[in-house]
Amino acid sequence: MEARRRLVSGTTFRCVARALHVPIMFVSVRPLSCLPSGTLVQPAIAKQQQHAPYLTYKKNFWQGRANMCTASRTTLDLSEMKKFQSLANRWWNEQGEFAALHSMNDLRVPFIRDNLLNRNGHLKPGSPLSGYKILDVGCGGGLLSEPLGRLGGLVTGIDPLEDSIRTAELHKSFDPVLNNQIHYRSCLLEDITEEAAETFDAVVASEVVEHVNDLDTFINSCYKVLKPGASLFITTINKTNLSFSLAIVVAESLLKIVPSGTHDWDKFVNPVDLERILETNGFYVESINGMCYNPLTGTWSWIESTAVNYAVHAVKQKAQPESEFTETTTEEHRDQTRTSTRTSV
């Protein structure tokens, strides 16, 4: 079912997809239902699952046959890239297409800053995030990378779209301080998981997970690049009827707050599923908060309900000693984790 939704047709796409797949072919695709939540998952290199369709896909890939479903191996969705291509040089127009993202900084920057400081302390006056290595995945034009850099963080911004990276580079180049704090690179997260294994104090994936193809792989890659005990920040859109009517119908067609076609409702993730994926991949969820955009004032605010937009702060679990879990113990642990992570500000 899922694979059919991700059909990518055309020879050009297949060639590009194959070229990008090389580092990812070792990651296996696990059906989530087999794993109890709360288990620490080792990113397995060759754990074969007895799940027939995926084996067929792997076989076809190795035979070099263009296979439409190989696109599911990467988190990159080329159709998503195309949506942002034409807008690449309009990132920094604060009243333009990305106005809502600019004003979302009022929520996301304090969210990241305060959660990092709460966990780790050491506030240096004038430069609260100094010493933190932060990865901004899907940075686009650098809208979120720049404030984090100004706060003292050493930011690496990555985005698959070269034009966006070029825009971001140009925008930061005039400020000599920012120029040294932020580095941009046009690549995928999966491309840097090996060279950047366990290097970052924080990974920020803001308004990204609703555009990726394979969320599990994405979260897994985030896990790989984070230091143990480090934080992952995600902001995304819930998959509800309300989010369809507000985030797609109203925002795109009626009020034109967001360029038409930006979001695909099928790709929205609800917080429960996201939490499950996070826990499966070795994170525990510290907090989930709902966000709300007021189109009249152009400002965002925190709300109780996660029905449309929400933000998640997850922490990579530190390594635990190996132990045997019995079935009952695991279920108890899962219940406990569920109740304790239901926090909201």
Catalog residues that contact another protein under the rule CB under 8 A: 92-94, 105-106, 109-110, 113, 126, 128, 146-151, 170-171, 174-175
Residue 151 Cβ vs another protein, minimum distance, rounded to whole Å: 4
> How many residues comprise the chain?
345
At 51, list the tokens. Answer: 């799940």
Query: Measured in whole angstroms, how far is the alpha carbon of residue 75 from the centre of its chain?
Result: 10
Residue 65 Cβ vs another protein, minimum distance, rounded to whole Å: 45
The smaller minimum CB distance to another protein, of residues 31 and 131, is found at 131
Residue 144 Cβ vs another protein, minimum distance, rounded to whole Å: 9
318 DSSP 8-state letter: P
Residues 148, 120: contact at Cβ < 8 Å?
no
Residue 150 Cβ vs another protein, minimum distance, rounded to whole Å: 4
Q: Which residues 6+ apart lie within 8 Å of 92 measured at CB?
A: 141, 143, 167, 171
At 158, list the tokens. Answer: 């990555």
The three-class DSSP label of residue 11 is: helix
Q: What is the crossing angle of helices 78-85 and 11-21, to 10°?
A: 110
The smaller minimum CB distance to another protein, of residues 204 and 247, is found at 204
Residues 134, 153: contact at Cβ < 8 Å?
yes
The smaller minimum CB distance to another protein, of residues 179 and 245, is found at 179
CA distance 194 to 207: 24
Q: What is the crossing angle of helices 215-225 and 271-280, to 10°?
A: 50
The smaller minimum CB distance to another protein, of residues 150 and 338, is found at 150
Residue 12 Cβ vs another protein, minimum distance, rounded to whole Å: 30
Residue 204 Cβ vs another protein, minimum distance, rounded to whole Å: 13
The smaller minimum CB distance to another protein, of residues 148 and 285, is found at 148
The smaller minimum CB distance to another protein, of residues 128 and 259, is found at 128
Strand 182-185 versus strand 299-303 pairing type: unpaired
What are residue 192's DSSP bridge partners? none
What are residue 203's DSSP bridge partners? 135, 232
CA distance 43 to 216: 11
Residue 302 Cβ vs another protein, minimum distance, rounded to whole Å: 15
The three-class DSSP label of residue 189 is: helix
The smaller minimum CB distance to another protein, of residues 87 and 151, is found at 151
Residue 313 Cβ vs another protein, minimum distance, rounded to whole Å: 18
The smaller minimum CB distance to another protein, of residues 109 and 314, is found at 109
The smaller minimum CB distance to another protein, of residues 38 and 149, is found at 149
Q: How far is CA 89 from CA 85, 86, 159, 165, 267, in A?
A: 9, 8, 14, 10, 25
Strand 226-237 versus strand 200-206 pairing type: parallel
Residue 148 Cβ vs another protein, minimum distance, rounded to whole Å: 6
